[in-house]
Structure 1
């Protein structure tokens, strides 16, 4: 109860007066202080995100919801609202970069979510091609005898038709498996070999889909922000999500 009361009082009253005091003492707004107090990366961008999101100023809050084409205008509007000279190139560049990361993260989540919602369709030629590609990448020495076959268990699917295993993560699960197998082929084959250990083995494809669910959950709840803000100096793309996976 006391924690919630303190949170309400801080956000409603104390934070405003604390910001006012710091501006009086330093001559700089909170955004300027964040840029000066943190180097490029997650700490800085998360600080900017918190500052804009908690502002009572609608212009500042709206900057978090801009798309890529609106960022430059948002930067100018924020600088005008905070009475920061437009010729302050350093501030302008830093805010532009932070907004790119923030809005890019939101777009990346929507892209990942949309792919997750796509149900694997055995009548879709592109879906089938990706599934066959996964087999060929992992088992180049062995041909599939049929589309529906117990051979799929050899790469860690649960039954003779892999489409039933993609239900939770949809096409995203397959795309992640194919990406890893294509870009880290030797490692993928080595892990598949380890998965067939008689005592310590596991279902390779199923574990891969579970890892997709883990990566997706981290992206959804925002826990992946620190990683992406540190690794990507701009718009996070689907490629970066696959690399994280």
Structure 2
């Protein structure tokens, strides 16, 4: 019974949506995509409405499928992105009978939003690819990144890849490689970006993590936060922030910067909560995720960190 009611509701909803689109097209002489581009704010609001419109459009189904297949296979690169966008824009304007020379602003807005849509999906592909990449001791690049992590946080030398000293920056044991199993090289890349691009801030956060009463494991927490933002990326919840950031292309550097913001905000919450011990990590982590998701659910969300030592 409930299945039949749901199917009936879906059919009625589809009918009225199609009816309204047709009515507005005749009334305004503009297709739905034009109305979105001309009537919405640049950023998440416009891009997500364009994305939803393309998903629902039967007329543009082939254009949409051809477009998203490229980033979903990791082939939306700098060398072919321009050609991909032009092919999609040309297909849409032809099928919707829009004159590009007359509606130049529409074409620019559409191209900008399509670039966001594709680059977000490309970012999903790249992040997952790096996450699946295991730490390889025979890969000198992997080894160098781990050593950079230590050297950026500590002034004393490290004896090698296996040492009790790794616990000083928050790894669980003598061999830090084992802690990256869940998040692979993505966990390490996030940490390395934080400690190299915001070194003073990262060192300060490390010092706060060593608090004698309210301390936590810096590196382990960092890897857990990688897991959090990776899940939010796959769920599409980072679109508000990334689309509103106004950069033409959403890329892996944007994910790294967001990670730094998340790390600082988690550290702020952790010490404010004054946990009894590290066993409260699950509770505080869940609370932090709820706060973060609530911020991301705002259509005007732009997560901007207060990135100085004095402000945390």
Shorter-chain TM-score category? over 0.9
- 1:124 shift after superposition: 1.7
Q: How many residues align?
A: 244
Given candidates 161, 168, 186, the residue that maps to 2:200 is 186
Q: Tell me which residue corresponds to 1:38.
A: 40
Given candidates 92, 95, 98, the residue that maps to 2:110 is 95
User: Structure 1 residues 236 and 7, CA, compared in 2 at 3 Å: closer, same or farther?
Assistant: farther
CA deviation string 1:79-122 (max 9, x = no partner) = 11111112121111111111111011111110111000000112
CA deviation string 1:46-95 (max 9, x = no partner) = 01000011101134433642542311121011011111112121111111
Q: Distance in 1 between matches of 2:190 and 2:50?
A: 31
- 1:39 shift after superposition: 1.6
Are the equivalent residues in 2 in contact too, given 1:134–1:177 (CA < 8 A)? yes
Are the equivalent residues in 2 in contact too, given 1:54–1:61 (CA < 8 A)? no
Counterpart mapping for 1:55-204 below 5 A: 55-57=57-59, 58-62=61-65, 64-65=67-68, 67=76, 68=81, 69-87=83-101, 88-140=103-155, 142-204=156-218
User: Structure 1 residues 86 and 146, CA, compared in 2 at 3 Å: closer, same or farther?
Assistant: closer
Measured on the aligned residues, the alpha-carbon RMSD in Å equals 1.7
SS in 1 for 2:228: helix
Given candidates 205, 218, 224, the residue that maps to 2:232 is 218
- 1:27 shift after superposition: 1.8
Are the equivalent residues in 1 in contact too, given 2:38–2:106 (CA < 8 A)? no
Structure 2 gap segments, 5+ residues each: 71-75, 260-312
- 1:40 shift after superposition: 0.9
SS in 2 for 1:222: coil
CA deviation string 1:120-172 (max 9, x = no partner) = 112221111100110000002x1113331111000000000000000110000
Are the equivalent residues in 1 in contact too, given 2:34–2:106 (CA < 8 A)? yes
Q: Distance in 1 between matches of 2:160 and 2:64?
A: 56
- The worse-fitting range, judged by mean Cα deviation, of 117-126 and 54-63 is 54-63
CA deviation string 1:162-215 (max 9, x = no partner) = 000001100000000000000110111111111111110000000000111111
- 1:10 shift after superposition: 4.6
Q: Tell me which residue corresponds to 2:298.
A: none
TM (norm. structure 2) is: 0.75
Q: Distance in 2 between matches of 1:63 and 1:230?
A: 25
Which structure is higher in RCO with an 8 Å CA cutoff and minimum separation 6?
A: 1
Q: Distance in 2 between matches of 1:21 and 1:240?
A: 41
Structure 1 gap segments, 5+ residues each: none
Q: Distance in 1 between matches of 2:17 and 2:148?
A: 55
- The worse-fitting range, judged by mean Cα deviation, of 16-25 and 1-10 is 1-10
Q: Distance in 1 between matches of 2:9 and 2:85?
A: 31
